[in-house]
């Protein structure tokens, strides 16, 4: 952090000012002039919270994508299909058993198994052929999409939120002052906050596992130079299978989260594939902190954009990607 400020004082200043403005907008009671200019504070706060929680969901999807890419150089364009598959599994389990938490576990295991099979049966045969692997993932995404359409049809599904998470919670953030002088606090759906907290926990756990454990060390070494790592006697194929399983399983969990937040239908796979692509392009390919930063930026941009400039919301997301590619083609937090 300190080194970044030393090296790029201008960018650091811009970032600090932007964060300060955002914090002021969140915590301060807006003067009437501002409310007239850009609308009610409640709308703004809701958009910010939706953006951050959506960022949590994007992080879950994109972290698996970036992990697989970082280690195996495999651009897994079937990642969106894994996400949707996880969502469908979660829906089936939660309607069958009525347990929301169980659906997470089953979705993780189920999709991770698909990942293991893919890695062993398909990708191991074409190691080192980036382009061919990517083509295969495109073919697989078509096949998966059609199979899921066959089984689940074109309907919308929504996973039932458990009873103990339904309803809004009052946050200590003042949205307005009533004429009687009584402050109005922001109410926000509890389930979204819980899911966001869970994705933060998963992110921190992943960071710890990568940076503090032996397996994490091996994975990081593999990201840097997998040939040398294999030469030192590490069973690299086993590591590949494990990482692929973890990445796919995270996509499965994200599918359950997405099915609870939003809904599941054909086409969602492409949407989340696009989201993970943009997130990792912005954040830096192969970097977990990059995925977190990119996910928050894209989530915020999407939600704020859809509130304030509805017809051009997607352009904002896209412009962020263009800007990052123009100024820092490797992504915000990538090394290289």
Residues that bind other proteins (CB under 8 A): 73, 75, 77, 130-132, 134-136, 138-140, 142-143, 145-147, 150, 270, 273-274, 277-278, 280-281, 285, 310-315, 317-318, 321-322, 325-326, 329-330
Cβ pair 252, 264 in contact under 8 A = no
Distance of closest approach, residue 119 Cβ to other proteins, in angstroms: 16
Phi-psi region of 37 (alpha: psi -120 to 50; beta: other; left: phi over 0): alpha
Q: Which one, 103 or 141, has the nearer CB to other proteins?
A: 141
Distance of closest approach, residue 270 Cβ to other proteins, in angstroms: 5
Distance of closest approach, residue 271 Cβ to other proteins, in angstroms: 8
Cβ pair 253, 60 in contact under 8 A = yes
d(CA 247, CA 74): 12
d(CA 249, CA 105): 9
d(CA 230, CA 221): 10
Q: Which one, 161 or 276, has the nearer CB to other proteins?
A: 276
Distance of closest approach, residue 329 Cβ to other proteins, in angstroms: 4
- Measured in whole angstroms, the distance separating CA 60 from the mean position of its chain's CA atoms is 4
Find all residues with CB under 8 Å of 122, minimum gap 6, and list them. 136, 140
Q: Which one, 53 or 74, has the nearer CB to other proteins?
A: 74
Q: Which one, 146 or 225, has the nearer CB to other proteins?
A: 146
Distance of closest approach, residue 238 Cβ to other proteins, in angstroms: 24
d(CA 8, CA 228): 34
Q: Which one, 189 or 305, has the nearer CB to other proteins?
A: 305
Phi-psi region of 167 (alpha: psi -120 to 50; beta: other; left: phi over 0): left
Distance of closest approach, residue 231 Cβ to other proteins, in angstroms: 24
Distance of closest approach, residue 110 Cβ to other proteins, in angstroms: 21
Find all residues with CB under 8 Å of 97, minimum gap 6, and list them. 103
Element (H, E) at 16: helix 9-27
Q: Which residue has the tokens 């953030």?
A: 173
- What are the two backbone dihedrals, phi and then psi, of residue 28, each rounded to the nearest 5 degrees? -75, 160
Q: Which one, 36 or 311, has the nearer CB to other proteins?
A: 311
d(CA 145, CA 107): 17
Which has the closest alpha carbon to 245: 5, 99, 76? 76
Q: Which one, 193 or 278, has the nearer CB to other proteins?
A: 278
328 C-beta neighbours (distance < 10 Å), count: 14
Distance of closest approach, residue 26 Cβ to other proteins, in angstroms: 27
Q: Which one, 42 or 73, has the nearer CB to other proteins?
A: 73
């Amino acid at each position: 952090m300190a080194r970044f400020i030393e090296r790029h004082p201008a960018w650091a200043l811009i970032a600090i000012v932007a964060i300060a403005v955002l914090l002021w907008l969140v915590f301060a009671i807006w003067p009437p002039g501002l409310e007239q200019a850009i609308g009610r504070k409640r709308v703004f706060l809701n958009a910010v919270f939706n953006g951050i929680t959506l960022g949590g969901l994007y992080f879950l999807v994109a972290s698996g994508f970036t992990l697989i890419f970082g280690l195996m150089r495999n651009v897994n364009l079937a990642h969106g299909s894994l996400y949707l598959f996880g969502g469908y599994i979660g829906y089936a389990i939660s309607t069958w058993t009525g347990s929301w938490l169980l659906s997470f576990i089953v979705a993780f295991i189920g999709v991770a198994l698909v990942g293991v099979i893919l890695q062993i049966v398909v990708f191991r045969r074409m190691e080192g052929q980036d382009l061919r692997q990517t083509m295969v993932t495109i073919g697989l995404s078509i096949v998966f999409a059609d199979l899921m359409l066959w089984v689940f049809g074109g309907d919308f599904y929504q996973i039932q939120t458990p009873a103990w998470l339904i309803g809004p919670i009052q946050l200590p953030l003042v949205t307005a002052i009533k004429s009687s002088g009584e402050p109005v606090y922001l109410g926000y759906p509890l389930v979204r906050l819980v899911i966001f907290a869970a994705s933060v926990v998963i992110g921190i756990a992943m960071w710890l596992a990568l940076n503090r454990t032996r397996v994490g060390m091996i994975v990081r070494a593999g990201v840097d130079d997998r040939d040398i790592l294999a030469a030192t006697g590490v069973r690299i194929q086993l590591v590949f299978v494990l990482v692929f399983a973890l990445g796919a399983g995270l996509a499965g969990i994200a599918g359950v989260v997405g099915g609870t937040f939003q809904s599941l239908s054909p086409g969602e796979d492409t949407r989340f594939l696009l989201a993970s692509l943009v997130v990792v392009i912005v954040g830096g390919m192969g970097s977990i902190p990059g995925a977190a930063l990119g996910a928050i930026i894209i989530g915020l941009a999407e939600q704020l954009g859809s509130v304030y400039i509805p017809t051009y919301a997607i352009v904002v997301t896209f412009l962020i990607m263009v800007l990052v590619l123009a100024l820092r083609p490797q992504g915000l937090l990538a090394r290289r």
